[in-house]
Structure 1
């Protein structure tokens, strides 16, 4: 058998001649009546704990203990335990050998509180010799000895001296040291605010009744208005004849451990107005008995609930809380002793729950769960009212949801009432607008991205980017600044759906190194001019990587170019970039120029191959520069022999127009006569065809 057993069987049959014993201890039987008279439960209680058992020897327990720990406050300083003890007497003569039951009050460190007042002890010898006269001899013998039992007793401990402290109430029961004679106890615990004595006095009455709290072993009343003992006043009640209002009486109470407390009561006129404080009202489901009402208890009052005024109709009960009520009016009579009473009424409302509506968001790529409230008997329907496949679940998975689709569920909620919910599905679509500011220069980190998401909502933006860049923020917008060039990815979530976008941050590619410094000179020339690209700023020329003092324009005049021109470089700034600079290639001498014929161009205004030159310089990939020529004459004819263009400017090409209008797509014939500026000045004649494609 277990050493700690929860007992829940209420009192039933205690007469063995009527069959099996129900709800009573099978060992505790009255000698005088033959009936079993120790209930397993304290009267009015639904549960108790049996500590120990009637088994002895090696299969039984030696001792059992239970501890109750509590932080003492003003609201729980009255600790009451109810117990019933069963002890088998083995007639041991040596103290401490018998079976026993004890209660000890200890602090958090295990020390006894209050000296002897903090403990109670009784053993089988004390039960047998009358030390505790409340023990009875059972006509059922124990193992090797007689059995004594104590019926249920209520013991109160005043813990007001320990408010703010943690105390432990330790219960212990044990067999005799030889494990031959058993001991066990039934316990039921309770705690609350220490109840002070009350008075019941009606105006005009010749007596008043004073009532002390129960659970103490001895009472001694004192007074009036002093601490003089009143002879014979040793019960929990005192009747005062010809009382005087406001007289003060005291009662000295002693608990089972011999601890004494003194409580005070003042005689008051209880004819004052009766008040009632409503604590809670629970609505009743339509047609069901699910309503409830509760009021704050006043110990001086008694209560009677009924369906009719003046305690008429059906009586529902006499406690402060009534359940199982239908919607409507319930009546209450509050009786203040024998003095007066008050009739009042309350309304138990009807809980006819209207259908509620929930808008349920879902993502287009996944299903959505519909969840009802707590309850039972669930029935699901689609938007047309057709029943869905039977299920009694509080949730339903829609695998392929449609925007604006509706579903319904009806069920009995946790209060027992019919409830229903309409679900409207809303597809969650995250729309994002972008504002991007790219970097204006190579290597800069001034770029920014501004995202705005809709519909207006709170989103979480999680960014990743180059070189381990991360950023997270919440809101309807997200702005990130001081960005280097590269790809930035943002995951946007509204806790239902998410969306990922990648945004490139770019920067200018800069001036390619293939752009060249222009050089124009012939063999044996002693001077030449170097020309850098025009239109920039902060030019600086270098000779063998050494800055040329004062050389800050787009051109530089040099001496002895045949020897030195390859040693020159130039750097410059491209606004708005303040640190961009380039070193460029140099052109060869004019006598070594290499040309390539052009056979197609596209004058369509896109600034790409819009102008025709018969030849391009292979080194610069640009038109043949006039600096290399002393004469130049270009003619262009249509396929019918009509001259449509002529020019003696080598820097000016044909724009594909004749008399201000673009010519038709087709093949055109050209003739070029030019003379090189170096050498012996040889004149060259060239011709060819070019295709015009707009």
Structure 2
């Protein structure tokens, strides 16, 4: 089962195809399955073609010093019967027959093959047994295993041969023709190949050189820091034949040295190469270089004398220190409480986890009482002076409304923000000189509601 799904597997099924008379032609094989419902099941078929194609049975040619001969008839038939050349003796009823000791070279044997129903007719095949087999061990070319990555040695297996590798250390299977080799150090492997009858023993050697690159990555400095703080990040690797540094998986032009000084935020790693042609990546190292936010000046806060008011620093970083600490209950806070009788200018030092420091300013003005003031006149002529009619809030923490009416009682402007105010336009039309009535209501720092009204003159 895979992820609670049942997977059905069928063992290998072998078949034989007679290609006599088709030399030089292209053969196309078609496979059809009738056991799956469309779109409800799936299946995979794996095909392995025997490269040792010949007109002889496997094992019909044997070694002079074999102690036995194993002869295999073609695959894919329902039953087999082996006979001597005169058909006077049944030698066996399996697909493979073992003759021990081997018969005289030149002996002919026959096999009667019966196909499955509907797949052909009964047939008889003949094999002549001759002792001319020559076995050559092939351990393959010398190779390199990089960083203990398995490499394949040997060659494609041939039917009827027996393989044995020595030493077996680091091999996926020492009893096959082409195992995967993963030695911990440079190793010479010896392949012994013989016929399955025991004869024609031959050997061959292959050297698997183990080449290892130390891909350790060292960070000197900090992985996270603030620009301009004096901190830095330097990445280092051990010496190699060639080095290439990467940022966010893209190669850095000219970055081929053993050490690399990081100059911007990113994910860094190096690819290392040695003289054996091996290469490997280091682990990735994330570097974050922060930049301090510029300081700002907060809007003036009005506080009624001896009445507590909460101040508010910008909400970022991990700490805020107000200086000087006078008239504050907790200067090491984003929201200290001010209680005082005189004006005070504060510097707020905000620090981030990366070490960046931002300094903001906050002026607190003390007033004897909460009030709302509105100028008696304004001149909206775009000269930058008195162009807007707006309320001046003293100790008001929330403006509920600010409304302006013309002489006919028509509402010409309304807002809940003190800025920017009314510019003297109504529906995009400049209003003439006139007297207007204003009304304002707000909540004071003492949590009381204050309502004010009055008149102002629009002057053109």
Q: TM-score range by the shorter chain?
A: 0.3 to 0.5
Q: TM-score, normalised by structure 1?
A: 0.28
Q: Which has the higher contact order (CA 8 A, sep 6+)?
A: 2
Please identify the structure whose Cα radius of gyration is greater.
1
